[in-house]
């Protein structure tokens, strides 16, 4: 089968885990890993697995524009702002895993057809990827006036980037809850727990709804859990949803696939898994367009 | 009293912040104005005003505030002639935006709080507070969960971000006097900034632990009048001041006036006496965040479970401050397990 070519910029933890996820894709062919540190574990592993490995950053793509049609950016917000310009000039589709948010927020579990014409999309945050689908599921049957999420992650899975700018997490996730989840108003909290052995990522979602319908809400939540499970098999409800007046409370647990990250780091896993799924949706769309053009 | 620091002791009254948990975040502007005005007249050094979980804490997770905390901060600032108004900020809950807002309203001191092992999430907030010209202190919560060496490492991080003091914060009221001593001594020996202590009275040790901390060199001290703080409250301010006075330490705060405020204003405001009941005792015994108490009682009622069982289980799971959602989750789990046993 014909596949769409893709490259990863950023050979850190996220980029490296993404590499393993893309390896399994039936519609994407990973060609290259692009970093800036030749000694990075990510670039070494990429080489070992037979991918092209570049250590000159975005320059690599400028010199070899045929490497990829889809480019994942797993660097930093600041760097992505610079990359976004170059990628637009080169006519590449950018899947942005940084908090830069140059393009619209996307979750692959929520109405994928609305963003397939974009050239740059943003993956929000790990807490957003875990909870926004549920907010959306509740909103679609009960109209959510307020949604609040609490993401608790193991200290070990919180990298220096997250720690240095934790406000970015709470603010970006809140926007995602509103813009993609559909809540009138959102709020996000994040808690780091240092317990050993490390805890799995857990998320609690509180929604205040306008049209309470316990059966419809429960059904919609469970359907959504199945949808997310397609790309994050370890995504599950911890309890049956709790109802209290106009309030719904949902408890989730996210176990990672254990590719590059240990399984407890469900928060990191759900980012790379969701980015892979978004890219696959784009790839299928591109392949369909190509086949129509060929036939035409 | 022999102290290992020659710096003056500064007291922060926390009833309008830590006490917010007990009041289920239902403080009215009137109550805040009255308490702040009287404390100011008594000569209190700092008065902390915020949601119990700090700026931005008004949530379903912790309880919604009846009155926007910014309004309460503004009201307290308005009432204070000499006392300074302080705020609490827990990164992950509140952001620098709320901090700026509080600063614009006249808050002049902030305590930036993290779990005892997670100080590095406070860098942006501490440096922003310093840029704003606020007095900026670090607050290492659940200090009983880490050994003194870890505490030193984390306090040094806060010092490097610009904190002007770091607190040993006994959020669970679980520290024993010798554990307080070794922690304060370790910080005093390794930091060039001031050291603070924040107690909870769950094991009836708040005043004696605070005295131990002061002897070891702590100079930033928290209290709550009439023990109006989470769990069994904090070091009872008017009691602590009286004891210090007997020991020859006069802090310039009117003790009689403090007793009167406790008796005639704060006492009648409190929904139930701040005594050490079985719930708050278990907080200290199991090492659980003090604000969990009322949430655990409500969850216990809802699921027909002894709230002590919930708190003990939370302690076993090493739950940290802010994880109130775990209370419902654990209660539901325990209820399910009970059903299966029957």
The model's pLDDT over A216-238, given as tens digits with 9 standing for 90+, comes to: 999 999 999 999 999 999 999 99
For the stretch A57-102, pLDDT in tens is 999 999 999 999 999 999 988 899 999 999 999 999 999 999 888 9
The DSSP line for B9-59 is: PEEEE-TTTTHHHHTTT---HHHHHHHHHHHHHHT-SEEE-S-TT-TT--B
Rounded Cα–Cα distance for residues B216 and B207 (Å): 14
At A113 the pLDDT is 76
At B77 the pLDDT is 98
- Contact criterion met (CB below 8 Å) for B15 and B42: no
Rounded Cα–Cα distance for residues A199 and A211 (Å): 35
Chain A residue numbers with beta carbons less than 8 Å from the beta carbon of B120 are 160, 163-164
- Contact criterion met (CB below 8 Å) for A84 and A102: yes
At A159 the pLDDT is 84
Q: Pick from B121, B317, B333: which is nearest to A192 by CB?
A: B121
At A295 the pLDDT is 67
Instruction: Using 50 as the pLDDT threshold, list the residues of chain B that sit under it.
Output: none
Chain B residue numbers with beta carbons less than 8 Å from the beta carbon of A206 are 60-61
Q: Does A171 touch chain B (CB under 8 A)?
A: yes
Domain ranges of chain A: 4-123+272-295, 126-264
Query: Does the ipTM exceed 0.90?
Result: yes
pLDDT at A293 over 80: no
- Contact criterion met (CB below 8 Å) for B41 and B252: no
The DSSP line for A174-217 is: HHHHHHTT--SEEEEEEEEE--SSPPPEEEEEEEEESS--HHHH
Percent of chain A topping pLDDT 90: 89
Shortest Cα distance, chain B CAs vs residue A135, angstroms: 15
Interior angle at CA B203, CA B198 and CA B207, nearest 5: 45
If pLDDT is split at 50, 70 and 90, which confidence band does A296 have? low
What domains can be seen in chain B, in order of their start residue? 10-269 (3.20.20.70), 291-341 (1.10.8.60)
For the stretch A31-64, pLDDT in tens is 999 999 999 999 999 999 999 999 999 999 999 9
Chain B residue numbers with beta carbons less than 8 Å from the beta carbon of A168 are none
Q: Answer whether A193 sits within 8 Å of B318, measured CB to CB.
A: yes
Rounded Cα–Cα distance for residues B204 and B327 (Å): 24
Rounded Cα–Cα distance for residues B188 and A175 (Å): 43
Put simply, the chain A residues between 232 and 291 with a CB less than 8 A from any chain B CB are 238-239, 242, 247, 249, 251
Q: Is the dihedral of CA B4, B9, B10, B14 positive or negative?
A: positive
Rounded to 10 deg, the angle between the B292-303 and B278-286 helix axes is 110
Looking at residue A105, the DSSP 8-state letter turns out to be: B
Shortest Cα distance, chain A CAs vs residue B204, angstroms: 27
By three-state DSSP, how is residue A34 classified?
strand
Rounded Cα–Cα distance for residues B142 and B18 (Å): 15
Interface with chain B: mutation pick from A125, A151, A167, highest number of B CBs within 10 Å: A167
- Contact criterion met (CB below 8 Å) for B3 and B217: yes
Residue of chain A with shortest Cα separation from B57 = A189
If pLDDT is split at 50, 70 and 90, which confidence band does A292 have? confident
Sheet holding A70-73, edge to edge: A52-54, A28-34, A4-9, A70-73, A93-96, A120-122
Name the one residue in this structure whose structure tokens are 């520290």: B175
The structure tokens listed for B87 are 């705020």
Beta bridge partners of B222: B12
Rounded Cα–Cα distance for residues B206 and B283 (Å): 14
Rounded Cα–Cα distance for residues A125 and A274 (Å): 11
Q: Pick from A164, A191, A239: which is nearest to B329 by CB?
A: A239
Rounded to 10 deg, the angle between the B96-104 and A166-179 helix axes is 100
CA A192 to chain centre: 20
Name the one residue in this structure whose structure tokens are 């076993």: B316
Distance spanning both ends of chain A, measured CA to CA = 20
Lowest mean pLDDT among A109-123, A145-159, A232-246, A266-280: A109-123
At A111 the pLDDT is 77
By three-state DSSP, how is residue B72 classified?
helix
Rounded Cα–Cα distance for residues B63 and A99 (Å): 29
Chain A residue numbers with beta carbons less than 8 Å from the beta carbon of B55 are none
Q: Is the dihedral of CA B105, A187, A129, B141 positive or negative?
A: positive
At B122 the pLDDT is 98
If pLDDT is split at 50, 70 and 90, which confidence band does A5 have? very high
From the list A116, A80, A83, the residue with the least C-alpha distance to A99 is: A80
Residue of chain B with shortest Cα separation from A163 = B121
Measured in degrees and rounded to the nearest 5, phi and psi for residue A216 equal -65, -40
Q: Measure Cα distances from B301 to B304, B326, B338 in Å.
A: 5, 16, 15
pLDDT at A26 over 60: yes
Q: Measure Cα distances from B167 to A192, B180, B217, B230, B341 in Å.
A: 20, 11, 12, 17, 45
Chain B residue numbers with beta carbons less than 8 Å from the beta carbon of A242 are 328, 332
pLDDT at A12 over 60: yes
Q: Answer whether A167 sits within 8 Å of B96, measured CB to CB.
A: yes
> How many A-B residue pairs are in contact by the CB < 8 A criterion?
82
Chain B residue numbers with beta carbons less than 8 Å from the beta carbon of A160 are 120
Mean pLDDT of A141-159: 96
Interface with chain A: mutation pick from B123, B325, B334, highest number of A CBs within 10 Å: B325
Rounded Cα–Cα distance for residues B257 and B83 (Å): 15
- Stretch (H or E) spanning B250: none
Beta bridge partners of B183: none
Rounded Cα–Cα distance for residues A85 and A90 (Å): 9
From the list A208, B291, A232, B39, the residue with the least C-alpha distance to B31 is: B39
For the stretch A236-277, pLDDT in tens is 999 999 999 999 999 999 999 999 999 999 999 999 999 999
Q: Pick from B124, B317, B320: which is nearest to A164 by CB?
A: B124
At A161 the pLDDT is 80
Catalytic hit among B21, B45, B51, B115? B21
Supply the CATH classification number for the domain A126-264: 3.30.360.10
If pLDDT is split at 50, 70 and 90, which confidence band does A208 have? very high
CB atoms inside a 10 Å sphere around CB A192: 25
Measured in degrees and rounded to the nearest 5, phi and psi for residue A4 equal -95, 135
Between A292 and B79, residue with greater pLDDT: B79
Rounded Cα–Cα distance for residues A97 and A17 (Å): 12
State the Rg of chain A over Cα. Answer: 19
The structure tokens listed for B176 are 């024993």
Supply the CATH classification number for the domain A4-123+272-295: 3.40.50.720
Which residue blocks in chain A are alpha helix, DSSP H?
Answer: 13-23, 41-48, 59-63, 77-90, 126-142, 160-164, 166-179, 214-229, 266-295
CB atoms inside a 10 Å sphere around CB A121: 22
Name the one residue in this structure whose structure tokens are 């963003």: A115
Active-site residue flag, B115: no
From the list B16, B2, B63, the residue with the least C-alpha distance to B294 is: B63
Catalytic hit among A6, A60, A106, A126? A126
Name the one residue in this structure whose structure tokens are 């009254």: B13
- Contact criterion met (CB below 8 Å) for B290 and B21: yes
Rounded Cα–Cα distance for residues A229 and A178 (Å): 23
- Contact criterion met (CB below 8 Å) for B77 and B107: yes
């Amino acid at each position: 089968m014909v596949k769409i070519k893709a490259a990863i910029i950023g050979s850190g933890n996220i980029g490296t885990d993404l590499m393993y996820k893309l390896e399994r894709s039936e519609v994407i062919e990973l060609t290259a890993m692009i970093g800036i540190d030749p000694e990075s574990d990510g670039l070494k592993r990429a080489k070992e697995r037979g991918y092209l490995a570049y250590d000159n950053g975005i320059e690599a793509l400028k010199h070899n524009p045929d490497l990829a049609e889809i480019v994942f950016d797993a660097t930093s917000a600041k760097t992505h702002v610079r990359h976004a310009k170059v990628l637009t000039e080169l006519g590449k589709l950018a899947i942005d895993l940084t908090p830069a948010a140059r393009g619209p927020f996307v979750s692959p579990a929520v109405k994928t057809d609305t963003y397939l014409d974009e050239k740059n999309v943003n993956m929000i945050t790990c807490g957003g990827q875990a909870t926004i689908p549920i907010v959306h599921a509740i909103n679609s049957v009960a109209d959510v006036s307020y949604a609040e999420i609490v993401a608790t992650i193991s200290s070990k899975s919180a990298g220096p980037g997250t720690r240095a700018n934790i406000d970015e997490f709470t603010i970006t996730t809140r926007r995602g809850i509103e813009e993609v989840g559909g809540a009138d108003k959102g709020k996000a909290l994040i808690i780091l727990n240092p317990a050993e052995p490390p805890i799995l990522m857990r998320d609690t979602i509180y929604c205040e709804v306008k049209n309470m319908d316990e059966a419809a809400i429960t059904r919609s939540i469970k359907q959504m859990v199945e949808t997310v499970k397609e790309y994050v098999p370890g995504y599950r409800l911890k309890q049956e949803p709790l109802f209290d007046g106009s309030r719904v409370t949902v408890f989730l647990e996210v176990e990672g696939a254990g590719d590059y990250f240990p399984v407890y780091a469900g928060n990191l896993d759900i980012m790379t898994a969701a980015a892979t799924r978004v890219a696959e949706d784009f790839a299928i769309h591109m392949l369909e367009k190509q086949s129509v053009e060929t036939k035409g | 009293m022999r102290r290992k620091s020659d710096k003056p002791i500064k007291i922060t009254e926390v009833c309008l912040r830590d006490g917010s948990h007990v009041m289920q975040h239902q403080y009215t502007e009137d109550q805040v104005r009255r308490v702040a005005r009287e404390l100011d007249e008594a000569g209190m050094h700092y008065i902390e005003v915020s949601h119990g979980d700090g700026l931005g804490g008004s949530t379903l997770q912790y309880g919604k505030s009846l009155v926007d905390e910014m309004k309460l901060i503004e009201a307290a600032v308005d009432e204070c002639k000499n006392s300074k108004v302080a705020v609490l900020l827990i990164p992950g809950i509140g952001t620098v935006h709320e901090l700026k807002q509080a600063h614009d309203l006249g808050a002049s001191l902030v305590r930036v709080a993290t779990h005892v092992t997670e100080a590095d999430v406070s860098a942006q907030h501490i440096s922003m507070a310093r840029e704003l010209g606020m007095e900026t202190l670090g607050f290492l919560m659940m200090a009983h969960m880490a050994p003194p060496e870890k505490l030193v490492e984390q306090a040094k991080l806060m010092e490097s971000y610009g904190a002007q003091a770091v607190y040993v914060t006994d959020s669970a009221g679980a520290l024993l006097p010798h554990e307080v001593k070794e922690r304060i001594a370790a910080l005093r020996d390794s930091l060039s900034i001031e050291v603070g202590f924040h107690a909870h009275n769950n094991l009836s040790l708040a005043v004696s632990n605070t005295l131990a901390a002061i002897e070891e060199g702590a100079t930033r001290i928290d209290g709550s009048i009439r023990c109006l703080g989470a769990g069994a409250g904090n070091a009872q301010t008017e009691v602590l001041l009286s004891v210090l006075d007997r020991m020859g330490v006069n802090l310039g705060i009117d003790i009689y006036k403090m007793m009167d405020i406790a008796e005639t204003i704060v006492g009648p405001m409190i929904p139930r006496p701040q005594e050490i009941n079985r719930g708050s005792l278990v907080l200290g015994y199991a090492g659980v965040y003090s604000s969990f108490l009322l949430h655990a009682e409500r969850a216990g009622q809802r699921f027909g479970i002894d709230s002590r069982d919930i708190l003990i289980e939370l302690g076993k799971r090493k739950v940290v401050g802010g994880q109130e959602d775990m209370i419902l989750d654990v209660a539901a789990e325990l209820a399910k397990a009970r059903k299966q046993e029957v």
